[in-house]
A and B are shown apart, each in its own frame.
Chain A
């Protein structure tokens, strides 16, 4: 079943990408083309085949020493240096629920 523009608006909300107007319409057309292209993979939903999630299959829970690594750790200035809004030693964000200052 084809995805409607309202379906795609819902996906955009989930993906946190604001889409409106012509861009939403174009994205809807793309999503339907792309999903149609994926059709051949559905034939592989086979009960007797195990999925492979990663090419290096036996990797799990890699542990390392719980130690400070000064050569690797970012300084506070470096960590804040690429943010567009900061105040003091913090990242600055708008209010979560609205109402707050811009």
Chain B
């Protein structure tokens, strides 16, 4: 067999190749670590690379195969883990000075399930500090560069997880999405990213940001790979350690394959106000229209739907999110874990100075806003209004889903922006205009690449949204878009690895 970089293989192909004996898990592991060594200096997707954990996991896969045992579905597939997820043997820093030395005391359920499915953990991925952001520039350690143009951001907050996949350093990664933190970086990096319905994936062991909003999900370069990761994440059923986790059938890979049967009888909604929104660039709009045409070509009917209260989503989110973040981050008092200011003579000063010097600017801003919104006299005005807006936004989605099976919309208003281009925090918040209402309502969404923009040459994406706990539909329809757009590209993926990094290191012998 001719030597080629492992980045030409999907997760499904890696697992199949190992099972068939074409190559070993150890060889894949070496290739992934070699690709990381070659590409990471320009991308900086990782906060920690874990060669020993990866080699140990790969050795276990190879030993199991040698012993004739059946291999798990993602056996030998390298995976990157967002650094807000605990994994024993790694630090979990949330890209914050606050947790610079924090050693994971246990492993998050989502990570444990990926490992149980055979994945080999190659490292912890960079992020916006405590997941507050849309650029990954608020990491306390270093920015991450978009593999399609290293002068630009990968999006955020799961920017390291997205960039690692887009640069071909791993075929799969995990992120978390509180207001768009999986879907926006997937769109900006030209890969597939999925936020399942709230409750589909356990949050146990993931550092909390907004407890009624946070949801874990996968990134991959193909819909099939994301579907395989979803099956791994839900296969263990309800997690007793997260009382909000729900039973979800591991039927995602089957749902992705079902796209081959076409979409006859499927009704897809589009929201005219979203397609005409101020700030939506023409190339993104054309990309979403291309996705709509592809769905129609596969047999779906496209109809208009309305979400009349969704305009309130950003304001509602920036009440609920900061309020929940303030409550969750109150635990960082410098005593049991986290940065502790030295030399303080009383406890209050130690707490206030540890928090002032351990947290970065955006983490402080969100907590200050949350503290204000939860204070006496203010709480009644904003917090209840936001939770009532939530009721109306959820009702809007329910009404729309009485007419359609899913809704197609943009994922982001524009392509990846340059580092530092959006410096005003409240302007940055508008990056989430198309993603945020799903975290408010709780239902799931998937982002799928639709090619490069005619104006910027950067990745363009579309987002599909389904009713709560109908996430398998997302995978079917996204796979239909992928198939429709990938013609001539062997059906493998719409964009693939970013060209500047494709084939750079990572040769699989």
Residue in A closest to B343 when the chains form the complex, CB atoms: A102
Q: Which residues of B contact A (CB under 8 A)?
A: 101-103, 105-106, 198-199, 212, 240-241, 243-244, 246, 309, 311-312, 314-316, 318-319, 326, 330, 333-340, 343-353, 355-356, 359, 364-365, 367-373, 375, 381-382, 384-392, 394, 424-426, 429, 441-442, 468
Residue in A3, A16, A64, A81 whose CB lies within 8 Å of B348? A16
Residues of B within 8 A of A96 (CB): 346-348
Residue in B closest to A8 when the chains form the complex, CB atoms: B368
In contact, B364 and A94 (Cβ under 8 angstroms): no
Residues 68 to 102 of chain A near chain B (Cβ within 8 Å): 72, 74, 78-79, 81-85, 91, 93-102
Q: Which of B311, B312, B315 has the most CB of A within 10 A?
A: B315
Q: How far is the CB of B144 from chain A (nearest CB, A)?
A: 24
Q: How far is the CB of B412 from chain A (nearest CB, A)?
A: 19
In contact, B350 and A93 (Cβ under 8 angstroms): yes
In contact, A15 and B105 (Cβ under 8 angstroms): no
In contact, B345 and A94 (Cβ under 8 angstroms): yes
Residue in B closest to A60 when the chains form the complex, CB atoms: B243
Residues 22 to 43 of chain A near chain B (Cβ within 8 Å): 27, 30-31, 33-35, 37-43
How distant is the Cα of A39 from the Cα of B426 in the complex, in angstroms? 13
In contact, A35 and B426 (Cβ under 8 angstroms): no
In contact, B391 and A52 (Cβ under 8 angstroms): yes
In contact, B387 and A52 (Cβ under 8 angstroms): yes
A-B contact count (CB 8 A): 185
Residue in A31, A49, A98 whose CB lies within 8 Å of B369? A31
How distant is the Cα of A95 from the Cα of B478 in the complex, in angstroms? 58
Residue in A closest to B204 when the chains form the complex, CB atoms: A72
11 pairs from A and B in contact (CB 8 Å cutoff): A17-B359, A27-B364, A31-B369, A34-B365, A34-B425, A37-B314, A37-B318, A38-B318, A55-B199, A56-B199, A72-B106
- Can you name 18 extra interface pairs (CB under 8 A) apart from A14-B371, A37-B314, A59-B244? A8-B368, A19-B364, A27-B364, A30-B368, A30-B425, A35-B369, A44-B386, A49-B388, A52-B390, A54-B212, A56-B246, A64-B240, A82-B105, A82-B336, A91-B335, A94-B344, A95-B347, A100-B345
How distant is the Cα of A31 from the Cα of B366 in the complex, in angstroms? 9
Residues of A within 8 A of B337 (CB): 82-83
Residue in B closest to A65 when the chains form the complex, CB atoms: B240
Residue in B closest to A47 when the chains form the complex, CB atoms: B388
Residues of B within 8 A of A64 (CB): 240
Residue in A closest to B197 when the chains form the complex, CB atoms: A55
Q: How far is the CB of B321 from chain A (nearest CB, A)?
A: 11
Q: Known contacts A55-B199, A78-B105, A99-B345; is A14 also within 8 Å of B394 by CB?
A: no
Residues of A within 8 A of B102 (CB): 82
Residues of B within 8 A of A30 (CB): 365, 368, 425-426
Residues 1 to 27 of chain A near chain B (Cβ within 8 Å): 3, 8, 11-19, 27
Residues of B within 8 A of A62 (CB): 243
Q: Is the interface of B mostly helix, strand, loop or mixed?
A: helix
How distant is the Cα of A34 from the Cα of B317 in the complex, in angstroms? 12
In contact, B243 and A59 (Cβ under 8 angstroms): yes
In contact, B371 and A37 (Cβ under 8 angstroms): no
Residues of B within 8 A of A102 (CB): 343-345
Residues of B within 8 A of A83 (CB): 335-337, 340
Residue in A closest to B367 when the chains form the complex, CB atoms: A15
Q: How far is the CB of B105 from chain A (nearest CB, A)?
A: 5
In contact, A45 and B384 (Cβ under 8 angstroms): yes
Q: How far is the CB of A18 from chain B (nearest CB, A)?
A: 4
In contact, B382 and A17 (Cβ under 8 angstroms): no
Residues of B within 8 A of A91 (CB): 335-336
A66 an interface residue at 8 Å Cβ cutoff? no
Q: Known contacts A51-B387, A94-B347; is A17 also within 8 Å of B318 by CB?
A: no
Q: How far is the CB of A15 from chain B (nearest CB, A)?
A: 4
In contact, A42 and B103 (Cβ under 8 angstroms): no
In contact, B315 and A39 (Cβ under 8 angstroms): yes
Residue in B103, B335, B429 whose CB lies within 8 Å of A81? B103
Q: How far is the CB of A45 from chain B (nearest CB, A)?
A: 4
In contact, B340 and A27 (Cβ under 8 angstroms): no
Q: Known contacts A44-B386, A74-B105, A82-B102; is A17 also within 8 Å of B355 by CB?
A: yes
Q: How far is the CB of A44 from chain B (nearest CB, A)?
A: 4
How distant is the Cα of A27 from the Cα of B367 in the complex, in angstroms? 11
Residues of B within 8 A of A81 (CB): 103, 105
Q: Known contacts A14-B371, A50-B391, A52-B391; is A45 also within 8 Å of B345 by CB?
A: no
Q: Which of B326, B388, B468 has the most CB of A within 10 A?
A: B388
Residue in B closest to A51 when the chains form the complex, CB atoms: B387
Q: How far is the CB of B134 from chain A (nearest CB, A)?
A: 15
In contact, A98 and B345 (Cβ under 8 angstroms): yes
Residues of B within 8 A of A12 (CB): 352, 368
Q: Which of A13, A34, A43, A83 has the most CB of B within 10 A?
A: A34
